[in-house]
Amino acid sequence: MIIVERRTNELDDLYRNHAVALTRLAHVITGSNAVAQELVHEAFIRYTRARDVREPAAYLRTILVNLARSEERRSSRPLPRPAQARFEEPSIDETWQAVQRLPEKYRTALALRYYADMSEAQMAEHLGCRPGTVKSLVSRGLDLLRKELAP
Amino acid sequence: MTELEARLRATYRAVAEQTLVAAEHPPLHVVRPVPLPERVSRYRVVIGLSVAACLLAALVVTLVTRHPDAPSSGPSHRTVAVPIFVPEGFAFKEAGSGASIGLWGFNGSFEGSLVEYVKGGTAGLVVASAADTGPRPAAGQHTVTLLSGARASVTSDTSDTWIAWSQPDGPIVSVRGWGLTEADLIDIANNLWYVTPAMFERLTAHGGFMSPADSNRLRDGWRAAGTQHSAIGVRGSLQTGLSIALDSNWGLDSVTGDCRATNWSDGTPGLVLLGPGTTSEFALTMSDGSVVRVPADPHPGLPTLAITTVRATGGTLECLDGGS
């Protein structure tokens, strides 16, 4: 019983400390705030089922990135984005719309690099690929984004 | 940092600032067990013991009379498709069920199940299935006939290919792959094991892992009617890979649609006959020219594989489909 209580309190703390950052990360990857909330919820559920997690925050982030990537693939259509964010600054609005048009793998790579500020090694770990592949994903993602934004 | 990179960072910051976070749930409360009253009436104890005895007796009768290898359910209850063949280098990633999902090639969303395998960051495949029997797949770019006889629609875009079909007397299924050829996906579609939700839960209970003993055990074992020889089933785990196996000493790498025979596993004279799922009857021509015809009696969870057993030692085998 004591173990259960400790686990529950730990989960409360973890949620309080990391839910915001995780939801933001999932939002910039998936482009949907609603989907991001669901994925964060699912990541926490998976965390509660996991055993011997040494770094809970890192574990949650890895699970979340995997869920975000899977979510896009398992849907037969683009993810629902009923409340597409609009921004007052036209260049930001235009950039965000262009990012949404990129294929999933490039969107994820750009979000991890330029939002989460991950190193290539960290990205490789999260994406399950070699650092060289990460470099090429980011580079190709920027190229595609540049083309999307070209007049 | 280039102008584009700076613009991207500013965009992400703006998006993050607008992100709404799900309302924090109230703290979870631990439910403490309430101790039973110290005095339990004798009457209740007698009833309790009687019920327990009846349940135990029923369990014993079931275990004694049940065919030891009988598959637990017929095709209509096998609503989850699980790949038993994945290309070289693919590793299990995740599996789950219960969520509302879109199945590629079908319109709408369904309460379904998913199994995903990946190969590094370069290739992957997802098998999605749902119990709904009504929906038909949308027209794809072309159609193929699977070894079970199901007609599947095939669609490709720049990076992915997906195959969708309604399994006769079974679930709707969609297999999507990236970094894979259409032929690879058809092989995967022809090597699906259809299981009940309860069987799927056991397969996924520990992240797809199983103990070595459980992993080596023949699951969903099935024998042709009237024989005690050669149970066919599935061995392995999602993490270590699944394969079709015949008792303990023989197995299939994948279902290819070949028409072939192998000896009974216990060494007594007899043959296991195997063919594509569309086979309705096997014709075995003996050395003296006589022909033995045996109806195919397929395993309910492996519809692309027709199988039966015959008490014979050799001959020329032909697999006859329903139209022959």
User: CB of B31 within 8 Å of any CB in chain A?
Assistant: no
Give A73's contacts in chain B (Cβ within 8 Å).
116, 124, 126, 160, 176, 178
Domain ranges of chain A: 1-81, 88-151
CB contact under 8 A, B121 and A105: yes
User: CB of B97 within 8 Å of any CB in chain A?
Assistant: no
CA distance B128 to B95: 10
CB contact under 8 A, A4 and B30: yes
Mean pLDDT, range B256-282, rounded to an integer: 83
Q: pLDDT digits over A25-61, tens only?
A: 998 998 888 788 878 878 887 887 777 778 888 889 9
CB contact under 8 A, B126 and A66: no
Q: How is residue A57 written in tokens?
A: 């925050």
Q: pLDDT digits over B25-41, tens only?
A: 333 322 223 333 333 34
User: CB of A133 within 8 Å of any CB in chain B?
Assistant: yes
User: CB of B32 within 8 Å of any CB in chain A?
Assistant: yes
B219 in Cβ contact with B198 (< 8 Å): no
- The pLDDT value recorded for residue B31 is 29
B48 Cβ contact list (under 8 Å, min separation 6): none
Give A114's contacts in chain B (Cβ within 8 Å).
5, 8-9, 12
User: How many Cβ atoms are within 10 Å of B157's Cβ, its own excluded?
Assistant: 10
Domain ranges of chain B: 75-201
- The pLDDT value recorded for residue B228 is 62
- The pLDDT value recorded for residue A53 is 78
Interface test mutation site (partner A, options B1, B15, B103, B107, max chain A beta carbons within 10 A): B15
User: CB of B30 within 8 Å of any CB in chain A?
Assistant: yes
- The pLDDT value recorded for residue B302 is 93
- CATH assignment, B75-201: 3.30.200.100
- Is pLDDT at A83 greater than 80 in this prediction? no
Mean pLDDT, range B273-301, rounded to an integer: 88
CA distance B151 to B305: 16
List Cα–Cα distances, B94 to A66, A77, B70, B128, in angstroms. 10, 21, 28, 12
User: Which CATH topology does A88-151 take?
Assistant: Arc Repressor Mutant, subunit A (1.10.10)
Which of A2-6, A88-92, B287-291 has the highest mean predicted lDDT (pLDDT)? B287-291
pTM exceeds 0.90, yes or no: no
Q: Which amino acid is at B211?
A: S
- Is pLDDT at A79 greater than 80 in this prediction? no
Give A105's contacts in chain B (Cβ within 8 Å).
121
CB contact under 8 A, B16 and A40: no
Across the interface, of B14, B21, B104, the residue whose CB is closest to A19 is B21
HSE-up of B98 (CA within 13 Å, CB side)? 7
Mean pLDDT, range B299-316, rounded to an integer: 86
- Is pLDDT at A12 greater than 50 in this prediction? yes
CB contact under 8 A, A76 and B105: yes
Q: pLDDT digits over B120-178, tens only?
A: 778 899 999 999 877 888 888 899 999 999 999 999 988 889 999 999 888 999 999 99
